[in-house]
Chain A
């Protein structure tokens, strides 16, 4: 079955960097766009970034553009989120999510990982 497993979260000091991973299995990885969505403690969902099925296109929320970079490795079936210059406002559970529809960049999210918690604290 489809699985998305995030890792890489933890406690990190402000200004530092972190790379999150989303390991995918159970589907044809190269056919689907993958998104990152975050949720601050007690808050709602915030879309962060998307990478197209072939890695040729990336889009970001205004709040993270320039600091976050999304990428994918088709050999490892993994999507990454590089986060630089972390601030307290980046504290959240970060989820990766797969599109419902193949090849589409934007779609509803049929599958979600369990999330990885990033805590920015000195």
Chain B
């Protein structure tokens, strides 16, 4: 089973900062990698699919990069609504689909 590892567990930042979140796969997932945002009490929201394609309605300050085993999600000019938990997910070599453990972006 492919294991997805996110780092760091928590990021303490300020509004306006730019942050980079990391996701590593234990073996290549090619570009079958998605990022989700989950605010407290809400369902996850798809941000990025195919490692770098923004989902419909996602602001341009969110960007994804990487392929194979190393991926990053960059959030530029953090807004107050961006403070949330972010998960990566791989969706190849199924089953199972697997999520990373999440990175909490906090003030």
Q: Which residues of A pack against B, CB within 8 Å?
A: 35, 37, 44-47, 50, 59-62, 95, 100, 105-110, 112-115
Contact = CB atoms under 8 A, between A and B. Distances in A.
A62 B100 CA distance: 17
A61 B44 contact: no
Given A44-B101, A45-B99, A106 B87 contact: no
Contact of A61 (B46, B91, B96): B96
Contacts of A113: 43
A49 B12 CA distance: 34
A112 to B, nearest CB: 4
B99 A100 contact: no
Contacts of A35: 97
A106 B33 CA distance: 11
Contact of A44 (B32, B49, B95, B99): B99
Interface of B: 32, 34, 36, 38, 43-46, 49-50, 55-56, 87, 89, 91-92, 94-102
Given A106-B92, A108-B89, A47 B44 contact: no
Contacts of B36: 45, 109
A45 B86 CA distance: 11
Given A95-B43, A108-B34, A115-B43, A46 B99 contact: yes
A62 B94 CA distance: 12
Contacts of A108: 34, 46, 49-50, 55, 89, 91
Contact of A47 (B43, B45, B97): B97
6 contacts: A37-B44, A47-B99, A105-B94, A108-B49, A108-B50, A114-B43
Contacts of B98: 47
A105 B56 CA distance: 21
